[in-house]
Chains A and B, each alone.
Chain A
Amino acid sequence: MVLSVERLSKAYGGVQAVRDVSFSVAAGEMVAIIGPNGAGKTTCFNMLNGQLSPDSGDIRLGGSSIAGVPPHRIWRLGVGRTFQVTATFGSMSVRENVQTALRSFYRENFSFGRAAGARYVEEADALLERVGMRDQGERACAVLAYGDLKRVELAVALANRPRLLLMDEPTAGMAPEERGALMQLVVDLARRERLAVLFTEHDMSMVFGYASRVIVLHQGEVIAEGLPEAIRNDARVREVYLGDA
């Protein structure tokens, strides 16, 4: 298992956002976490990448515990992530965003002597090519459409050649016809590079079309887990989330 999570819990003040959640993700697998708004999906992600430390429970990455380790260290262990609300470097161009991640990957954050601009241009362009943003490399991040920002984030998240990729609503804000292409790209990556992918998504056609396994959260607890087909027909899931239509 690339990732295994055991009895993870987190409360904000009185709100129990995540309660006793356990699951695991293997290399090459695409696992979706779904659930209504406020189910605790983002909170889970924030614990996985170190932004929050769990109240209890354990997170293991390739066997070693990463619960409570700060995000920059977890990233070095091979975890990439995109955010529900995109986070990019607004004063930089698209390519500079990716270059910054690459320089960090090559441990140059404390390098003073050289000029940063010319470093890893080709590698950055290759990553942008993958997500279909190469021709927009010069544009300022501040002026991009939201769907394009999501793509830039994906390129940035891939810069450390992660073994685990966390994507919080990767296709939100994209045109419907672009969504499938992006998900297909990730599926191919997962297969080809044995990448473990965990994503959340409100668009059910993306979930049932691309996930190899689905975990359903409701009020912080896992209420169902299984193959897409089984989840689609699960009575409890239909009741709390999918709607009994």
Chain B
Amino acid sequence: MSGSALLLQFLNGLAGASSLFLIAAGLSLIFGVSRIVNFAHGSLFMLGMYVCVWLAPKVGYWASVPLAAMLVALCGALIEVGLLRRIYKAPELLQLLATFALVLVIKDFALWAWGPEDLLGPRAPGLTGAVPIAGRQFPQYDLFLIAIGPAFFVLLHLLLTRTRFGILVRAATEDREMASALGVNQRGLFTAVFALGAALAGIGGALAIPREPANLEIDLAVVSDAFVVVVVGGMGSIPGAFLAALLIAEIKAFCIGLGYSELTLVAEFIVMAVVLIARPWGLLGRPIAELRGRDQADFRLAATKPMLAMLAVLALVPIATSGYALVLLTDVLVFVIFAVSLHLLLGPAGMVSFGHAAYFGLGAYGAGLLVLRYEAPMELALLAAPLLALTGAAVFGWLCVRLSGIYLAMLTLALAQIVWSVVYQWDSVTGGSNGLVGIWPAEWLASRPAYYFLALVVCALSVGALWRIVGSPFGQALRACRDSPLRSEAIGINVRAQQWAAFAIAGTFAGVAGSLYAFSKGSISPETLSVPRSVDALVMVLLGGVQTLVGPVLGAALFTWLEDSVSREVAYWRAGIGAVILLLVLALPYGIGGLLRKWSSR
């Protein structure tokens, strides 16, 4: 690459960094004071884009930018007052889920308000030209973007160091007890910070409009990029966000510039891995206080007999029907395995994974690739595909167990997003966005009842195995690591090894579910391993209750049935699922299992 090309790639990277910084800074600020990771931050960015496209024809592009920021800030304030305020003390997992519910609601709102098509916005008046740099044409607007990042960095810095508001924000970030002892009006402060963070996301979105159209897919893409930046830079650190945004954006720009755009994600992954191994709290971050303790002990519902009875009933279903009910039940069985595998991480291991679909998807794609590309017999593919999931989980898990709490959750999400992108982009192998078609079971398993029986057997074996694992010395040692890593290490338990093994086991069973899924559907697409799929699993587990393994079984059944009926009846079913999640978080934090427990202990 010539010197001038290098320079241009460098400038491209700087322009990308500005936008990344705006969004990551907002996320980081909000986390700093409220300790909430706002999953919906990408959605606020998306709202900024749409509002800008919508207002620009009316008031002109430049006026629409601050207006978009204000509207999004208002929206942020409403979210804080209406929802987050109620869950500041809830476990992290519930907080993340609540903000994910907002992702769903905001997406459907945008769909309703602006339709499904990508909306092309105006170019920025006055900055439509290009300037010659090193003998090439470089867009004026990109130069403007390059200036925007540092400008906002300086503004934020001044705001945080020179104003009373900033001092309060820093006090709250660094020492919450101290801040409340100083008589800081916490409520007002939190609302203001959330509005500020939202405004930054809104500006980011509006400023992106001259470069790309507003679209409904941008929310998760943006938020997972922001997660990477914040994890690398250090949670709660604005300079960290700035540094990491530069680093990540430059890496992206150079990978694309060198013609290795496929390598972008791999490079990003490697950087993240290196940073996290060397500095687990990010480049400029500090260790955050340990997780909130768990407030409810695990319990094992005495459910062996009811479960066996249910198994017997399920075995008889094909006598009664071979219609759609059987298809739906097969789905249920697949997702029971998936949810129960995630439960191992969420429950006994106490590790929040926001990317469990990656292993489900690896199982599904492993099965598909084995039969389609290598013409393996279906039975072999069904058995071998989970090994791909195991490999993925072992590699990612190795990195993940170095972190805990919220960092872990964000890392799992970012890793899953990387797998998703690879599958989405690697047309020649994975079929890209079209996915793989024609993944059919062997002849003797092809009929609905036969496949249903297969699913039933695999499900029963999987749930039984996981039940056994949870109750085994391994499972109890895992629980010990969750309860007190300190004490566990001090009685000879290698906490990371224990958690790593749990990760690998959970991933393998998710892969079992995935490969079963692939053969039951006949075709798979990248959606199989998307973030929403991961969240589905989380909702299943929470709906049922984390504290007992029966929970996810019930939760998966209920959720699959609900989704099936809701998505066929209701146009905006995503928002519906979002509403269910919010209801769950606010009204039923211990899930159905918790209710059963309450009743049975009366």
Residues on A close to B: CB < 8 A?
A: 49-51, 70-72, 75-76, 80-81, 83, 87-92, 96, 99-101, 103-105, 108-117, 119, 140, 142, 156-157, 159-160
Contact = CB atoms under 8 A, between A and B. Distances in A.
Nearest to A117: B471
A163 to B, nearest CB: 14
Contacts of B486: 51, 83, 87
Interface stretch (B1-9, B150-158, B474-482): B474-482
A90 B491 contact: no
Contact of B489 (A71, A116, A117, A157): A71
B181 interface: no
A103 B479 CA distance: 13
Nearest to B294: A91
A104 B479 contact: no
Nearest to A120: B473
Contacts of B475: 116
A100 B476 contact: yes
Nearest to B494: A72
A92 B483 contact: yes
A75 B473 contact: no
B501 A110 contact: yes
Contact of B294 (A87, A90, A110, A157): A90
Contact of B476 (A80, A81, A103, A159): A103
Given A112-B469, A142-B297, A75 B483 contact: no
A80 B490 CA distance: 7
Contact of A91 (B298, B469, B488): B298
**Nearest 7 Cβ contacts at the A-B interface:** A87-B487, A108-B473, A89-B483, A71-B489, A75-B492, A101-B491, A91-B297
Given A91-B479, A91-B483, A96-B476, A75 B490 contact: yes
Nearest to B477: A109
A146 to B, nearest CB: 16
Interface in B147-192: none
A119 B501 CA distance: 22
A158 B40 CA distance: 49
B284 to A, nearest CB: 15
Given A90-B483, A92-B479, A109-B498, A159 B473 contact: no
Interface residues of B, number: 30
A4 B469 CA distance: 41
B468 interface: yes
A92 B468 CA distance: 18
Interface in B482-512: 482-484, 486-495, 498, 501
A111 B489 contact: no
A103 B483 contact: no
Contacts of A113: 468, 472
Given A112-B474, A140-B297, A104 B493 contact: yes
Given A50-B489, A111-B473, A116-B471, 15 more contacts: A72-B494, A75-B489, A75-B491, A75-B492, A83-B490, A89-B480, A89-B487, A92-B480, A92-B483, A100-B491, A104-B491, A109-B473, A111-B472, A112-B468, A117-B471
B491 A160 contact: yes
A90 B492 contact: no
Contacts, number: 114
- B interface: dominant SS: helix
B132 interface: no
Contacts of A112: 468-469, 472-474
B293 interface: yes
B474 A89 contact: no
Interface string B27-57: 0000000000000000000000000000000
A9 B234 CA distance: 29
Contacts of A104: 477, 491-493
Interface in B280-305: 293-294, 297-298
Pick the most buried of B298, B469, B471, B493: most chain A CB atoms within 10 A of its CB: B493
Contact of A90 (B471, B484, B489, B493): B484
A81 B486 CA distance: 11
Given A92-B479, A100-B480, A116 B293 contact: no
Pick the most buried of B484, B488, B490: most chain A CB atoms within 10 A of its CB: B490
Contacts of B489: 50-51, 70-72, 75
A88 B492 contact: no
Contacts of B487: 83, 87-89, 156
A126 B112 CA distance: 67
A108 to B, nearest CB: 4
Given A90-B484, A117-B471, A49 B490 contact: yes
A70 B489 CA distance: 8
B484 A89 contact: yes
A110 B490 contact: no
12 contacts: A72-B492, A87-B484, A89-B484, A90-B483, A90-B484, A92-B479, A92-B480, A100-B477, A113-B468, A115-B468, A116-B472, A117-B471
A109 B480 CA distance: 10
A243 B469 CA distance: 57
Interface string B440-472: 000000000000000000000000000011011
Pick the most buried of A49, A50, A90, A96: most chain B CB atoms within 10 A of its CB: A90
A224 B498 CA distance: 43
B385 to A, nearest CB: 22
A124 to B, nearest CB: 13
A51 B488 CA distance: 12
Contacts of B298: 91
Contacts of A81: 490
